[in-house]
Amino acid sequence: MPASKKKTVKSKTDQIGLPDETMLGLFSNLLKTRLLDERFRKLYRQGRFAGTYFSAVGQDASTVGPTYGLRDEDLIAPSHREIGASVTKGVPLDKIAGQIYARESSPDKGKSHPCHYGWKAKGVIAPSSTLAGQTVVGTGCAMGFQIQKKDNVVLAFFGEGATARGGWHEALNYAGIYKLPIVYICQNNLWAESVPASLAAAITDFSDRAKAYGFPGVTIDGNDVFITHKTAVEAIDRARKGDGPTLIECKTYRWYGHSEIDPADYRTSQELEDWKSRDPIKFAEKTLMDIGLLTTTKKEALVEQFNQEIDEAIDAVDKDKYADPEEAYNDVYSEQFPVRRVDW
């Protein structure tokens, strides 16, 4: 068993050392994620799609950074606030928008729920809504990779609230025993819907939980996309080599409610303003500009390019129709067991 260890990585100093291309790539994916996320919020308020929307604005660096650079065969085991992982993994924007709009072209043909993105070709697992559910399934995927001697890895994302679930503990316990190729990423955004982290656990740093399972846990600044990337790359390399899992806790914050119907009035405006001043996008932008990798003109060009891609994706799903309601009968079983149609 590996010796349990925990280290805290400070922000701002550790990002140096990443190739220029990586730093720009991280910023681009972060920017694209943010523009898409804010667009969906706007479209929801316009009543353009049904249900609700779970924004990840504010905590987007904690999904974009770790996902950047993964292979197609590596898997993302998401929850519902990982739009950044889908974007960065390269899921086509019209597939992401399709999931939100629940149209015929959606990967699930409109069956599951907005924000439950799943696209197999790019290794994003379609999630259930049970929190930490995919932590268990993702650990099973890692077990499957290990049994088949494949060097793929799994990134499992969840919030700090989900770490109170029994299944979460069973999964991490198992992954520790067998040194499975998986990296667990806790997006500690301080609030599990309306319940503060202090009522979810008696510890402050959720990475402490790793100690119980015999693998390293690390707490980092989740709003620094360069740090989230660097830390994850180290953990992913470890996992791929067969040295086992890592639990990475990203301290971060969601700017908006649990979903668009949540006014988030359980927290103070001071807390929100403090975190907004640590905007992951602004931080990344400033870092790149300070070292001369980005100019205002270049950034504006990226914004224009991404907005155009988003316009095209939204336009495509907006024009798409809902699947025939009889689609409800499909994908229950294999073709061997067709579902009986009702008479009325």
Phi, psi for residue 221 in degrees, rounded to 5: -75, 105
Question: Which CB atom, from 19 or from 333, has the smaller least distance to other proteins?
Answer: 333
Question: Which CB atom, from 59 or from 163, has the smaller least distance to other proteins?
Answer: 163
Contact 330, 112 (CB under 8 A): no
Question: Which CB atom, from 319 or from 340, has the smaller least distance to other proteins?
Answer: 340
Interface with other proteins by CB under 8 A: which residues? Answer: 75, 106-109, 111-112, 116, 118-120, 125-126, 128-130, 133, 136-145, 147-148, 150, 152, 166-167, 170-171, 173-174, 177, 330-334, 336-337, 339
Question: Which CB atom, from 171 or from 313, has the smaller least distance to other proteins?
Answer: 171
Gap between the Cα atoms of 281 and 303, Å rounded: 12
Query: Between 93-101 and 20-45, two packed helices, what is the crossing angle to 10 degrees?
Result: 20
Give min distance, CB of 174 to other proteins, in A: 5
Give min distance, CB of 105 to other proteins, in A: 10
Give min distance, CB of 213 to other proteins, in A: 11
Cα–Cα nearest to 64, from 38, 36, 37, 27: 27
3-state secondary structure 107-174: CCCCCCCCCCCCEHHHCECCCCCCCCHHHHHHHHHHHHHHHCCCCCCEEEEEECHHHHCHHHHHHHHH
274: left (phi over 0), alpha (psi -120 to 50) or beta: alpha
Gap between the Cα atoms of 288 and 286, Å rounded: 5
Give min distance, CB of 205 to other proteins, in A: 25
Give min distance, CB of 342 to other proteins, in A: 11
Question: Which CB atom, from 118 or from 280, has the smaller least distance to other proteins?
Answer: 118
Gap between the Cα atoms of 89 and 70, Å rounded: 7
3-state class of 2 per DSSP? coil
Question: Which CB atom, from 156 or from 197, has the smaller least distance to other proteins?
Answer: 156
Question: Which CB atom, from 311 or from 327, has the smaller least distance to other proteins?
Answer: 327
Give min distance, CB of 16 to other proteins, in A: 37
DSSP 21: H
Give min distance, CB of 27 to other proteins, in A: 31
